[in-house]
Amino acid sequence: MVHPIQLIAYADRLGGTIPALGSLVRQRLDGAFGGVHILPFFTPFDGADAGFDPDDHTTVDPRLGSWDDVKELSRDLDVMVDVIVNHVSARSPQFRDVIEHGEDSAYASMFLTMGSVFPDGATEAELLQIYRPRPGLPFTPYRWGDGTRLVWTTFTPAQVDIDVRSDAGAAYLVSVLDTLRDAGVRMIRLDAVGYAVKTPGTSSFMTPETFAFIDELAELAHDRGLEVLVEVHSFYRRQIEIAARVDRVYDFALPPLVLFAAATGDHGPLARWIGQRPVNAVTVLDTHDGIGIVDVGPHPDSGEPGLLDAAQLDLLVEAIHEATGGDSRAATGAAASNLDIYQVNSTFYDAMGRRDRAYLAARAVQLFLPGIHQIYYVGALAGHNDRELLAQTGVGRDINRHIYSDADLERDLHRPVVAALLQLCRFRVDAPGFDGTFRSELDEHGWLRLRWESESGWSELRARLDRGEAHLRWARAGGPEHATDDLLANPPAHA
C-alpha cells in the first residue's frame, strides 16, 4: 500500500486553527499531502513544552477548535495525533488534587514518586543508572497534601510522570484513546513511551518491561482501529529491534546520515543504513524536535560502533553549526534551556546550508525510501532558523518552530524551492513503481541509486547530496521514459 505524504504541523503556528490548517492543506498545498500529523492541540497548546504538557489531554484548546474540527479534518485526510504517554502537566486537575489532598486523593496512585519506585530507598548507583534526556536526576519536590514528595519528572518540572501500571493511570490513557477514536483519528504517536515504565535497578528506558507495556497499549489502540507509531531516540540497533514489535517506528537515523553525506560527500553510511533500515518506518528529515545524534552514534554504554563513529559524529555536528552560521550552536545544549543531550537544534533547510538543489535532493531521497513520509511544516516551507523566537523564549527547539503569518506563508509559497518541493510531493503520490519492489545501491562513482519497479512501471533516483544533484527518471508500463536532472528548475509534473 502506498501511503499519502503527511504534513507535521502545529495548528497555532501554521494556519492559526485546526479548520484553517485543514483549508491550507486542501487548497494552498493541494495534492502534496494526504495526511496531517497535528502536533498537540490539547488544553493548553501553549504550556511549558509547546503542548506536550497538557492540563487535559481529552479536550481541544478552544482557541484552536473542537473535536468536531478534528473529525472534519479526518473526513478526507489521514490524521495522526500524539498520545503523551509518559506525563501530564503539573497543572492538571488530577495532580492539583494530589497536591491538595495527598494520599487521600483518588489520583494519588496515578503519579510516580521516587518513593513509589524505590520503596526501600535507592543507592547512588541505582540513581545514576536512570537514563534521562536532560542532565540531572528526574525528580522535583512537590507538596503532597500535608507533606512533600519527590515527584518523578523525566523532562521538566512542569511535566509529572504517570504511573502507567496503576488503575488510575491506565484509565486515564484509555480515556485518551477513546477520545481520539471518536474523533476519527487513524494513527497515534506514542510520545516519550520509552520512558513510561520505571523499573528499579535498570535504566528505566526501553527495558523489557517497557516493551511489554508498548505491546499492551498497542493492543488497546488496535481494538479502537488506531495504528501506532512509536517515538524513541536510541542506538540504531535498538530501533531495528523496536520496529519488529510495533506498527511503525521513526527512521531517526535518516536525517543525520543525509546531512553527513551532504557535508562530506561520503554516502557510504547512508547507503549501508538504507540496506538494513526497517521498512515499516516513518521517514522524516525534520520534526518539532532537534536533529537526532544518538540515533547514529556509538552505543552510549557499551561503545558498540554506530552508523557513524565518534570522529564522524563530531564532524557532522560542526558541519551543521558552520552551515547555520552558528545559529544551531546557540540553540543547542547548554546554550539554551530545554536541554537535550542528543539533538542539534536547527531547521533542516539551514542545516543544509540553504542550498536549494541539495535540499531538494535530500527530500527526493527521503520520498524514495520505503515507509510513510512525513514533512515538518517548517521544512515544507524551506524555513530559516527563527533567531527572534529563540531569543524571546530561550528554548532551543523554538529556533525550528516558527509561527507563520499570512504574509510569511504567501512569501514562502512563491519561493522556487518551496514550489519545487511541493511538486516533488505531488509526483511521489502517483508516480509509477512505488507499489512494487525497491532496490538501492551506491555505485563506484559515489552516486546513490534508488529504484522502484512494479507492473505499473518504474521510477528511479540517482543522487549526489554533496553536489546537490538529483536525476529523476520514470516511465509507466508500456509508455515513454520521462526525466529531469534539475528538481529546482524543472520539477517533475504529475507522473
- Phi, psi (5° rounding) for residue 192? 60, 25
- Among 55, 78, 82, 231, which one carries the catalytic annotation? 231
- Among 78, 191, 295, 466, which one carries the catalytic annotation? 191
Helices (H), 130-225: 167-182, 208-223
49-78 burial: b if 16+ Cβ within 10 Å, else e: bbbbbbbbbeebbeebbbbebbebbbeebb
- Predicted local distance difference test score (pLDDT) of residue 332: 86
- Predicted local distance difference test score (pLDDT) of residue 180: 97
Report the DSSP beta bridge partners of residue 21.
none
**Is 49 annotated for ligand binding?**
yes
- 10 Å CB burial of residue 136 (0-12, 13-18, 19+) is exposed
**Is 340 annotated for ligand binding?**
yes
CB 93 within 8 A of CB 56: yes
Determine the Cα–Cα distance for residues 404 and 9; give it in Å rounded to an integer: 11
Cell numbers describing residue 36: 496531517
> Is 191 tagged catalytic?
yes
pLDDT (tens, 9 = 90+) of the chain, 495 residues, equals 457 899 999 999 999 999 999 999 999 999 999 999 999 999 999 888 888 989 999 999 999 999 999 999 999 999 999 999 999 999 999 999 999 999 999 999 999 999 999 999 999 999 999 988 777 899 999 999 999 999 999 999 999 999 999 999 999 999 999 999 999 999 999 998 999 999 999 999 989 999 999 999 999 999 999 999 998 888 899 889 889 888 999 999 999 999 999 999 999 999 999 999 999 999 999 999 999 988 999 987 888 999 999 999 999 999 999 999 999 999 987 654 434 557 999 999 999 999 999 999 999 999 999 999 999 999 999 999 999 999 999 989 999 999 999 999 999 999 999 999 999 999 999 999 999 999 999 999 999 999 999 999 999 999 999 999 999 999 999 999 999 999 999 999 776
**Is 3 annotated for ligand binding?**
no
> Is 295 tagged catalytic?
no
**Is 341 annotated for ligand binding?**
yes
**Is 87 annotated for ligand binding?**
yes
Return all residues near 137 (Cβ < 8 A) that are at least 6 apart: 127, 130
**Is 172 annotated for ligand binding?**
no
CB 161 within 8 A of CB 87: yes
